Amino acid sequence: MSDTYSFRNNFPFLLGAILAINAIPDARLMLDASDCVMSIPEFQKNHDLNSSIIAPNGFHRVYHTEADVNLTASNRTEAIARSIMKLANSGEVKALFLSSVPMTIITGYQYDKIMRGLKTPLVPIIEIPRKGLLGDWLDGYATALKSLANHISPSASSPDPRKTAVVGYLMDRSEEDHMGNIRELERVLREALGLDPVSIWLSNRSFEKTASLDNVGTVVSLPYARDAARIVAEKYGARLIETMPPIGIDGTREWISQIARAVGEENRADEFIDRELREHIPKLEWAVNKWFAGKRIVYCGDPYLMSGVKSLVEELGCSFDRGVIFSERDKLKNTPDDSAPDAYELQTSAFIEKLKSNESNRPTDLFIANSIAAREIRSALGRDVPIMEFGYPSYSHHALYDAPFMGFRGAMCFISRMANRIAASKIV
């Protein structure tokens, strides 16, 4: 059967918007949609054990306007306004975001006009606009952060170059892998670069704390929200440093060095890097030789983590192969993978064919894959295939204790997970 009609391995725009709301614990999202859209938030707890986006007492943080196929063509201005006000004025909520789905997009509702007509909503109401049916989950997340950036208003205070915002971190869950990343990013910014991290977008912090960017003089941009980072930098008169995520040993070293060059802290950064390497590298002396050198690794997941993972596994002596990248092809523009061969949002059937073909030539020693890809891999190759679940979504890997995957500490955690999985598959 032709790939033309096979499902693309990608996630919808709406998911990205929902992940953004999940990462601001006192924000809510109103979707102009029917209740079908609740399918995404209701499953979030399978990935994020700490998610509060759906509540057993009925006060969910995502809700909908009850639009259905019949009502969509009618005048729903009042109903939408009523739904918005219901959530905006319900207490506990500190910000309300608003977005739509394909069924309602094509009716062309002017949500901004409806929002202007609302009587005294108690909290900010922020639209996450959509461009037709275009965009995937990474666009949804980026657009939510861009809307947030457009919403905030800096005070008159002058920028302090030490005050740093990191904009464009994908906080897809509030478990200890991502919370560990936040701690590690803040530690590195402080200790290696002498910066004062005031806010990371997004980092599971309240709306007020997230939006508190006064005096920010440095914006470190990560790829999940480049536009938002640019807007924040422009609004605050801050310098903008565009980076890839600090994945792996060399990736982290490069990340620190890039920021250090921009902020003039090369010596401090070099000392920090040297100190960290002296602490961590000895622990890898035998692991690299025993488990990694010569192994074949396949990556399936988020495009923005791919170059970091590739760099890491190649440092350890592994060969790297891309399986399927869960995004539209435009996401790798201006990244180290821009010229890589085509594997973007590969359809399921093509992905499985590729897997089977590869496995017959040379078996993969470890798949690093999200849960959706992992399911397809197991379906094609059997349940015993070595898979390390990583990225969004991760249904069978959870982090209950500090387990970052960014920065030096993150690299060590990541390498430990890989080693354990490869070792387990070798023992008969």
Q: How far apart are the first and last CA of the chain?
A: 38
Indicate whether 72 belongs to the interface with another protein (CB under 8 A): yes
- Torsion angle of alpha carbons 62, 404, 402, 364, nearest 10°? 100
Indicate whether 45 belongs to the interface with another protein (CB under 8 A): yes
Q: Report 9-28 residues binding another protein (CB under 8 A).
A: 10-15, 25-26
Q: Residue 392 gets which letter from DSSP?
A: S
Indicate whether 423 belongs to the interface with another protein (CB under 8 A): no
3-class SS of residue 52: coil
Q: How far is the CB of 100 from another protein (least distance, A)?
A: 11
Q: Report 198-257 residues binding another protein (CB under 8 A).
A: 204, 206
Q: How far is the CB of 323 from another protein (least distance, A)?
A: 17
- Indicate which single residue of 29, 81, 95, 101 sits in contact with another protein (rule: CB under 8 A): 101
Which residue has 């037709």 as its token pair?
Answer: 132
Instruction: For another protein, give the closer residue by CB, 96 or 260.
Output: 96
Q: How far is the CB of 197 from another protein (least distance, A)?
A: 19
Instruction: For another protein, give the closer residue by CB, 256 or 374.
Output: 374
Binding pattern for the stretch 123-142 against another protein, x by CB under 8 A and - elsewhere: ---------xxx--------
Indicate whether 397 belongs to the interface with another protein (CB under 8 A): no
Q: What is the rounded distance in angstroms from the CA atom of residue 338 to the CA atom of residue 400?
A: 35
Q: How far is the CB of 215 from another protein (least distance, A)?
A: 25
| Beta-bridge partners for 27 | 95
Among left, alpha and beta (phi > 0; psi -120 to 50; other), residue 215 is: left
Q: How far is the CB of 187 from another protein (least distance, A)?
A: 19
Indicate whether 90 belongs to the interface with another protein (CB under 8 A): yes
Phi, psi of 397 (to 5 degrees): -125, 120
Peptide bond into 12 cis (omega under 30): no
Indicate whether 71 belongs to the interface with another protein (CB under 8 A): yes
| Beta-bridge partners for 8 | 347
Annotate 194-245 with DSSP letters as a single string.
--EEEEEESSS--HHHHH--TTEEEEEE-GGGHHHHHHHHHHHT-EEEE---
Q: How far is the CB of 209 from another protein (least distance, A)?
A: 11
Indicate whether 89 belongs to the interface with another protein (CB under 8 A): no
Indicate whether 82 belongs to the interface with another protein (CB under 8 A): no
Query: Among 38-46, 180-188, 221-229, 407-415, which window interacts with another protein (CB under 8 A)?
Result: 38-46
Instruction: For another protein, give the closer residue by CB, 106 or 423.
Output: 106
Instruction: For another protein, give the closer residue by CB, 179 or 228.
Output: 179
Indicate whether 382 belongs to the interface with another protein (CB under 8 A): no
Q: Which two tokens stand for residue 153?
A: 């208003």
Instruction: Please choose, from the candidates 139, 238, 246, the residue with its C-alpha nearest in 3D space to the C-alpha of residue 182.
Output: 246
Q: What is the rounded distance in angstroms from the CA atom of residue 199 to the CA atom of residue 212?
A: 7
Q: What is the rounded distance in angstroms from the CA atom of residue 66 to the CA atom of residue 83?
A: 9
Q: Report 50-69 residues binding another protein (CB under 8 A).
A: 50-52, 54-60, 63-64, 66, 68-69
Instruction: For another protein, give the closer residue by CB, 259 or 300.
Output: 300
Q: Where are the alpha helices (DSSP H) in 23-156?
A: 39-47, 77-88, 102-105, 111-116, 137-151
- Residues in the interface with another protein (CB under 8 A) total 71
Q: Report 176-195 residues binding another protein (CB under 8 A).
A: 179
- Indicate which single residue of 75, 339, 360, 361 sits in contact with another protein (rule: CB under 8 A): 75
